[in-house]
Amino acid sequence: MASAKQGHLNGAYYGPPVPPPQSYHSVGSRSSCGPCSLLCTLFKFIISIVIIVGIVALVLWLVFRPHEVKVYVGTASLAQFAFSSNSSNLQYNLSMDMSIRNPNKRISIYYDYVEARALYDGSRFAFDVLPTFYQGHKNTTVLYPAFQGTQLLLGDSVATTYSREKEEGFYYVHVKLYTRLRLKVWVLKIHYNKQKVDCSLKLPVPGSSAKFEGTKCDVDLF
Ligand SMILES: *[C@@H]1O[C@H](CO)[C@@H](O)[C@H](O)[C@H]1NC(C)=O
Ligand SMILES: *[C@@H]1O[C@H](CO)[C@@H](O)[C@H](O)[C@H]1NC(C)=O
Ligand SMILES: *[C@@H]1O[C@H](CO)[C@@H](O)[C@H](O)[C@H]1NC(C)=O
């Protein structure tokens, strides 16, 4: 009896505090269930979509990530390079072989337009439009840019650069490629216009016994 009374008393004692949390809980969840939970669900949905799209993009990038094309000038011959400071004319005859390697496993490249330009002391003195070609996966193509003719060069420093380099035994000529490309991934073709290749060639003065050393070019493709 005593314990039953005590229990009853205890129940009566602890009774009152119990209902408020219950009613608070049920009231609270009911009131937040309306417009807010709809917004929350929508928000979570959008977040999930963003995350999924991000993961898909990352996977595609890792699978198809394009590697930079590699360009190398193996041999170059400067048969003539004569600048007259009287007439500001440069007479030139320069030829080379330039290999272009596509290191990608899944990307093949259409070279729809390829133009080589030759620059001396910052001024372009010649250009050569090269044949278009298609390059498969992991394939190497050799181009033969050649420049010969006479060009007026009016830069202020050309004469001094020319006489200094003639003394030193090497002319520094830049050969740059400007291209219009299409990248092919499976059946997708992507047009690509920006490719820039810059080969900084250290060419022995014609008639000297020095040898041209093979030169890697800077490529800014992707
Ligand atoms: C240019 O040089 C090459 C050798 O590299 C020679 O065969 C060719 O005849 C030269 N061209 C001219 C116009 O001198
Ligand atoms: C440049 O012109 C001067 C006279 O104006 C002449 O004496 C000289 O031989 C010329 N040099 C060349 C490389 O033609
Ligand atoms: C490179 O391409 C040429 C011509 O398309 C082909 O004959 C050659 O087998 C290819 N080489 C490689 C290594 O795929």
Could you read off the pLDDT of 108-120 as tens digits, one per residue?
999 999 999 999 9
Superfamily of domain 70-220: Immunoglobulins (2.60.40.10)
Report the pLDDT averaged over residues 37-64. Answer: 86
Three-state DSSP at 41 gives: helix
Other residues' Cβ atoms within 10 Å of the Cβ of residue 200: 15
- Rounded mean pLDDT, 84-104: 94
What pLDDT, on a 0 to 100 scale, did the predictor assign at position 155?
80
Task: State in Å: Cα 82 to ligand 2 middle.
Answer: 14
Give tens-digit pLDDT for 134-192. 999 999 999 999 999 999 998 889 999 999 999 999 999 999 999 998 988 877 788 87
pTM beyond 0.75: no
Q: In the predicted model, what is the mean pLDDT of residues 116-141?
A: 95
Do 107 and 62 meet the contact criterion of CB atoms below 8 Å apart? no
Phi, psi for residue 61 in degrees, rounded to 5: -60, -45
pLDDT band at 18 (very low <50, low <70, confident <90, very high): very low
Please state the three-class secondary structure of 46-107 as a single string: HHHHHHHHHHHHHHHHHHHCCCCCEEEEEEEEEEEEEEECCCCEEEEEEEEEEEEEECCCCE
Question: Which residue has a Cα nearest atom 13 of ligand 3?
Answer: 139
Whole-number Å distance between alpha carbons of 106 and 133: 18
- Measured in whole angstroms, the distance separating CA 181 from the mean position of its chain's CA atoms is 14
Distance CA 48, CA 76 (A): 57
pLDDT number for residue 34 = 63
- The per-residue pLDDT for range 168-184, each reduced to its tens digit, is 999 999 999 999 989 88
Mutate to test the pocket of ligand 2, among 85, 86, 150, 162 (most ligand atoms within 8 A of CB): 86
pLDDT of residue 26: 46
Residue 205 burial (CB count, 10 A): 15
Each domain of the chain, given as residue ranges in start order, spans 38-65, 70-220
Lining ligand 3 with CB less than 6 A are 136, 138-139
Return phi, psi of residue 209, to 5°: -90, -5
More confident call, 62 vs 5: 62
